[in-house]
Chains A and B, each alone.
Chain A
Amino acid sequence: MVNYGGDEVSALVVDIGSSSIRAGYAGDDTPKAIVPTTYGFTEESPSANEDIKMSEANEGEETEKPRVNLYIGQNGPSLWRENMEVSNPMQNGLIVDFNPISPLISHCLNDVMRCNPSEHPVLVTEPAWNTQENRERMAEIMFEEFQVPAFYIANTGVLNAFAAGKGSALVIDIGQSAASVTPVVDGFVLRKGLQYSSLPQLVTAHARHLLINPTSRRPAIHLWPQQLIASKQPVDAGQNPKFELRSDRVAKTTASWKKWAEDREVDEWMQSVAGVVDQGWNEQFAHQRGPKHYEFPTGYNYYFNGIERHSVGEQFFTHSRQLVETNPNLPKHLPALISSALSACDPDLRQVLMGNVVLSGGGSQFPGLADRLANELTRSFPHVKIHAPGNPIERRYGGWLGGSILASLGTFHQLWISKEEWQEHGRAIVNQRCK
């Protein structure tokens, strides 16, 4: 029992990210519930007839006069519904809208995991730049709404380091909306060295720009999602698509849903086609990688050549001069994030941090990104060792995995904020306990 220092108290771990919420039991190696953070909602007057509700999580119904139906989960925003808006409570990794948070967590714990949160201690993750109000609000939600017996909020940077088995590490976490470089020393984040930017959003925007604008060899690409397409016919590669829209739906589609659906098309295109040249940008080299075929929901299909595919991933590492000139507050690219994080750290620590670089997050799974990062770092630092898990689950859900490890440690159980302490000390206990 004492072996490996583990002591299971059936704790739950909830890791809230921009793209998905991961929840599961501490001690597991994979989250049990992976739910998109983006949710759909419709507003209707209270007199309207009862719609099909995808979840029981409609907590907002008492607060506002118009009744709000939330659509959460795998069948939430991805099913087309009349006048359904789509929203995401996260911005740059931070929770900005707490209203849908408890329905989302409730969906994960009650509906997907089918467990009662009032019986389990819950560990929640937060980004390193989380605000004090946010973590206190989270504690409040967990204690007051879910009646959890104990609560703890841990930093994703620290948890990613723990998932890699390191106490001190330089954690490079590339998510869907934010990329961050976090120096972690002895399990503590060095806040002065913390760097983050909305770089992944820039990459997505670049890819979208690339697709919807015509080039000399292909027309502009329509990003209609498959939910809005009635029929299509096969066409040769590069030919104009032949498809018919579902005009009944198009009229009742909201702008936010359309934006979300188009972004998903861009995302899928990136995931299947885009990549990073691992030895620095070289057009000839990128061209040699060869074209890749991709077909959009409209039926349009095309062989995207190497330069086009790899220029997307290149945004992680370099920004073109014209982009820098036109956009003054451009998000920092990865090498800039790393070097500014390091320069803010003590010179004694730099060696330690560069020897323990942990790469994490779903955005880091761009093909070739880990190799490129290793090449860039070895060029400027003599002794670099990058820990990038090969297992995609470990890479994407590193934060959750670290939380799963932490919450199942016997020595950790003294750190839980118990309900008794919450009631006694109030909000201040959160900052006091979770350093």
Chain B
Amino acid sequence: MAGASAADVRSILSLPNPSTAGPSQPRKPAVPAERARKPEGISRELYSLIGPSVPSLAAQLAKPRLKQKPNLGGGGRVKWEWRSFKNGARSDGFELSHWAKAGSDPNAEYPFAKYNVQTTSYVYSQEEYARLLEDAEWTKEETDYLFNLVREYDSRFHVVYDRYEYPSGPQRTLEDLKDRYFSVCRKLVRDRPWAGDEASKNQLLSSLQFDKERETTRKKYVTSLEDRTPEQVAEEDALFVELQRLEQNERRFKRDRDELLRTLLGIESGLPDVQVDEEGLNGAPQESKKRKRGGNAGADLDTPVSASPSVIALGPAIPKKAQSAKNAAFDAQNCIIRTEVPATTSSSTKVAHQPVYLRSYKLPTPKMTAAPKVAQVLGELGISHTRLVMPTRENCAQLEFLLEAGAALVETKKSVDKIEQDIRIAKARLDNRQSEDADGEGTGDAAPTPMDVDEVNDADADAEGEVDGRAQSVMSTRSTRSARGRRSV
């Protein structure tokens, strides 16, 4: 069965041959109707390979559209000819020859003649010299010589100085020459009528300015700089490196210090680039403090500092002036309570500054001396003074009042104890005296005496407890113990 093809199967089943070949059937080479016509623009070899089956492609192949060749040099050949030319910069009629384009104008000006720029040179008349330019150190002949040289060498003063050899004249320095030349030019410009405006004249005069003293000093400095020995240069270099190192250190210290100040003091550090976060509320109190203070700093200094240390400003910091009008309404609406705090002027010191805090962080605490006793009193009442579930303003005030009451109670108790003690001692003394007077065995009676005192004490305490009301039952351990002792007695 393996050798049988689809055609065999068809013939066995006597099926008609399909008009179109199936996919598994080898395609019969299609015999083209008109083979002869080869499309234009396709090579014969390529056509014989791909055949006529791709006419659409062949149509595209026909004309490959390439970029047009650039037209260099205008197509035709350029003709050059050896031609003599006149140079406009020359004073004589000398003609040199060079290659030139055949078509170009033979009488055109030589292109390089325009670079022959003459510098403006100053010339003075005999009369002008006599009137203006007389100088004790310079003769007219030498000045003429100098001006000729300057003109000849186009004001290249280094070259002028090099070629300056005035016979029987004094030795001139470069500065002498420059000074003389420029001073003469300045005098001429000032004296002569000026065609342009004043500004251009001043500009010209300033360009002719020459300070001989300064130049001489400067040159002296340059020379001394060059005359340094290698050791001096090396030392200078080393010092410079050291200086740079120190400066870098100082910068680093300053940066660290600023960083530290910014972290500790925020805006109060007085540093210019403290980050002020204007938008949004950040949870950390440190940042909210910054933000609030930043808002304040932006406000006018005349406005009362209404920033409360015990209040967190919610919402955007609004400039105080705008706020003051609707202050009350705004505060009521946003549950803001303002507390007047003494304005901390010149509060750049760390001590004077009171940053913002959460109220729960600053619950009132009893005085240090009485703290354990007050805590005990509160504990008996079932109140924790270190933690308030709802530290609202009112609650805080009540807690504070409670603590104050507790403290007063403890204080009272203490004075009461003290007085009782005094009474007891006084009583003991009295008893002693009575027993001495009664001539009895006074030493044996010492023991029961405190008991009696205690009784009196308790009676007193009870009387006081009546006044204090609730506080009566919450007494110190000592008093309770003594009370128990009294009952047991």
Give chain A's interface residues, CB within 8 Å of chain B.
1-2, 5, 7-10, 121, 149-150, 185-186, 188, 190-193, 346-350, 379-380, 382, 410-411, 413-414, 416, 418, 420-421, 424, 435
| A347 and B223 contacting across the interface, CB-CB below 8 Å | yes
B361: Cβ under 8 A from any A Cβ = no
Confirm or deny: B159 has a beta carbon within 8 angstroms of a beta carbon on chain A: yes
Whether B488 sits at the interface, judged by CB under 8 Å, is: no
Given contacts A188-B156, A418-B92, contact A5 B222 (CB under 8 A): no
Residues of chain B within 8 A of A192, CB atoms compared:
162
Mark out the residues of chain B between 195 and 241 whose CB falls within 8 Å of any chain A CB in the assembled complex: 219, 222-223, 226, 230, 233
* 14 A-B pairs whose Cβ atoms sit less than 8 Å apart in the complex: A1-B100, A7-B111, A8-B99, A150-B94, A150-B96, A185-B156, A188-B159, A347-B219, A347-B222, A410-B115, A411-B112, A413-B87, A413-B96, A420-B93
A residues near B219, Cβ cutoff 8 Å: 346-348
When chains A and B are docked, how far (Å) is the Cα of A191 from the Cα of B230? 30
Complex Cα gap A349–B159 (Å): 11
**Across-interface contacts of B37 in A (CB, < 8 A):** none
A5, B158: Cβ atoms closer than 8 Å: no
B152 at the interface (CB under 8 A from A): yes
Which B residues are in CB contact (< 8 Å) with A5? 112
B89 within 8 A of A: yes
How far does the alpha carbon of A348 sit from the alpha carbon of B173 in the complex, in Å?
Answer: 14
Q: Mark B150-164, 1 if CB is under 8 A from A, else 0.
A: 001100101101110
Question: Would you list the 10 A-B pairs with minimal beta carbon distance, nearest first?
Answer: A410-B112, A418-B94, A414-B89, A188-B159, A347-B222, A9-B96, A190-B162, A411-B112, A411-B115, A347-B223
Judging by beta carbons under 8 Å apart, are A186 and B159 in contact?
yes
Name the CB-closest residue of A to B115. A411
Q: Could you say which residues of chain B place their CB within 8 Å of the CB of A348? A: 158, 219, 222
Asked whether B112 lies within 8 Å of A188 as measured between CB atoms, the reply is no
Given contact pairs A185-B156, A410-B111, A411-B116, A416 touches B94 in the complex (Cβ within 8 A): yes
Our pick among B94, B111, B115, B163 for the contact of A191 (Cβ within 8 Å) is B163
Which residues on A sit within 8 Å (CB–CB) of B93? 420
Counting CB contacts under 8 A, is B478 at the interface?
no
CB interface residues, B 135-192, toward A, < 8 Å: 152-153, 156, 158-159, 161-163, 174
Q: Could you say which residues of chain A place their CB within 8 Å of the CB of B152?
A: 435
Partner of B174, one of A7, A10, A346: A346
How many residues on B have C-beta within 8 angstroms of the other chain's C-beta atoms? 32
Interface string of B71-110 (1 = CB under 8 A from A): 0000000000000000101101110111110000000001
| Smallest CB gap from A9: residue in B | B96
Is A186 a contact partner of B156 (Cβ separation < 8 A)? yes
Q: Which B residues lie within 8 Å of A2 (CB)?
A: 111-112
Verify B96–A188 contact, CB threshold 8 A.
no
Contact indicator A188/B233 (Cβ below 8 Å): no
Contacts of A424 in B (CB 8 A): 92
Q: How far is the CB of B299 from chain A (nearest CB, A)?
A: 59
Q: In whole angstroms, what is the CA distance A317 to B311 when docked?
A: 87
C-alpha gap A349/B98 in the complex (Å): 39
Q: Indicate whether A414 sits within 8 Å of B87 (C-beta atoms), given known contacts A150-B94, A382-B233, A420-B93.
A: yes
> In the complex, which residue of chain A has the Cβ closest to the Cβ of B223?
A347
Q: How far is the CB of B89 from chain A (nearest CB, A)?
A: 4
A344 to chain B, nearest CB (A): 9
A421 — nearest CB in chain B belongs to which residue? B92
Given contacts A7-B112, A188-B153, A410-B111, contact A350 B98 (CB under 8 A): no
Of B99, B112, B161, B226, which is within 8 A of A350 by CB?
B226
Interface set of B (CB-CB < 8 Å, partner A): 87, 89-90, 92-94, 96-100, 110-113, 115-116, 152-153, 156, 158-159, 161-163, 174, 219, 222-223, 226, 230, 233
A346 is contacted by which of B92, B98, B110, B158 (Cβ under 8 Å)? B158
Greatest chain B CB density within 10 A among A2, A5, A418 is at A418
What is the CA–CA distance of A273 and B80 in the complex, to the nearest angstrom?
52
Residue among A8, A346, A414 making CB contact with B161, cutoff 8 Å: A346
Residues of chain A lying within 8 A (CB to CB) of residue B113:
414
Kindly state the separation between the CA atoms of A7 and B94 in the bound complex, as whole angstroms: 16
- Once the chains bind, are B226 and A190 in contact (CB under 8 Å)? no
CB distance from B460 to the nearest CB of A (A): 102
Chain A residue, CB-CB nearest to B99: A8
Chain A residues with CB under 8 Å of B116's CB are 411, 414
Q: Which residues of B contact A435 (CB under 8 A)?
A: 152-153
- B174 and A1 contact, CB distance less than 8 A: no
* Nearest CB of chain B from residue A117's CB, rounded to whole Å: 15
With a cutoff of 8 Å between Cβ atoms, the chain B residues found around residue A149 in the complex are 94, 96
Establish whether residues A413 and B112, one from each chain, have CB atoms under 8 Å apart when the complex forms: yes
A193 partner residues in chain B, CB cutoff 8 A: 162
Q: What's the nearest-Cβ distance from chain A to residue B92, in Å?
A: 5
Q: Chain B residues near A416 (CB, 8 Å)?
A: 94, 96
Chain A hits for B115, CB < 8 A: 410-411
- Whether A121 contacts B96 by the Cβ 8 Å rule is yes
Q: Is the CB of A420 within 8 A of B94?
A: yes
Q: Considering the chains assembled together, what is the distance between the CA atoms of A416 and B93 in angstroms?
A: 12
Contact residues in A for B89 (Cβ distance below 8 Å): 414
Question: A414, B90: Cβ atoms under 8 Å?
Answer: yes
Known pairs A10-B98, A413-B87; list 4 more (Cβ under 8 Å): A188-B153, A192-B162, A346-B158, A424-B92
In the complex, A65 Cα to B113 Cα: how many Å?
Answer: 52
Tell me which residues across on chain A come within 8 A of B233, comparing CB atoms.
382
Closest to B228 in A: A382
Cα distance, A150 to B87, chains bound together (Å): 14
Nearest-CB residue, chain B, relative to A380: B230
Q: Which residues of A contact B100 (CB under 8 A)?
A: 1
> Once bound together, how far apart are the Cα atoms of A1 and B219, in whole Å?
45
- Tell me the minimal C-beta distance from B91 to chain A in angstroms: 9
Q: Does A8 lie within 8 Å of B159, measured CB to CB?
A: no
Assess the A185–B158 pair: CB atoms within 8 A: yes
Q: Please, how many angstroms separate the alpha-carbon atoms of A9 and B87 in the complex?
A: 12
B172 CB to nearest A CB, Å = 13
Q: In the complex, what residues of A have CB within 8 A of residue B159's CB?
A: 185-186, 188, 190
B176 to chain A, nearest CB (A): 13
C-alpha spacing A41/B219, complex, angstroms: 57
A350 to B112, alpha carbons, bound, how many Å?
A: 33
Question: Can you name the residue of chain B whose Cβ is closest to the Cβ of A412?
Answer: B112
A194 to chain B, nearest CB (A): 9
Say yes or no: B158 contacts A349, CB within 8 Å.
yes
Give complex CA distance A349, B230 in Å: 21
Q: Nearest Cβ in chain B — how far from A152, in angstroms?
A: 12
A9 to B92, CA, bound (A): 17
For A418, what are the chain B residues with a Cβ–Cβ distance below 8 Å? 90, 92, 94
Q: How far is the CB of A130 from chain B (nearest CB, A)?
A: 15
Chain B proximity of A122: nearest CB distance (Å): 12
* Interchain CA distance A342-B100 in the complex, whole Å: 46
Q: Are B162 and A191 in contact, with the CB atoms below 8 A?
A: yes
Measured CB to CB, the closest approach of chain B to A186, in angstroms, equals 5
Name the distance in Å between A419's Cβ and chain B's nearest Cβ: 8
**Distance, CA A8 to CA B99, complexed state (A):** 8
| Contacting pair B223 A421 (CB below 8 A) | no
A410–B115 CA distance with the chains assembled, in angstroms: 9
Residues of B within 8 A of A188 (CB): 153, 156, 159, 162
Per the bound structure, the CA–CA distance linking A191 and B158 in Å amounts to 11
Q: How far is the CB of A265 from chain B (nearest CB, A)?
A: 43
A253–B96 alpha-carbon span in the complex (Å) = 49
Q: How far is the CB of B158 from chain A (nearest CB, A)?
A: 5
Residues from chain B with Cβ under 8 Å of A379 in the complex: 230
**Considering only CB atoms, which chain A residue lies closest to B165 in the complex?**
A191
Across-interface contacts of B111 in A (CB, < 8 A): 1-2, 7, 410
A421 to B90, CA, bound (A): 11
Residues in A neighbouring B230, C-beta threshold 8 A: 379-380
Contact pick for A420, options B92, B174, B222, CB 8 Å: B92
A186 cross-chain contacts in B, Cβ below 8 A: 156, 158-159
User: Which residues of the partner chain A approach B112 to less than 8 Å between Cβ atoms?
Assistant: 2, 5, 7, 410-411, 413-414
Nearest Cβ on chain A to B149's Cβ, whole angstroms: 11
Centre residue among A149, A347, A435 by max chain B CB count within 10 A: A347
Q: Is the CB of A9 within 8 A of B98?
A: yes
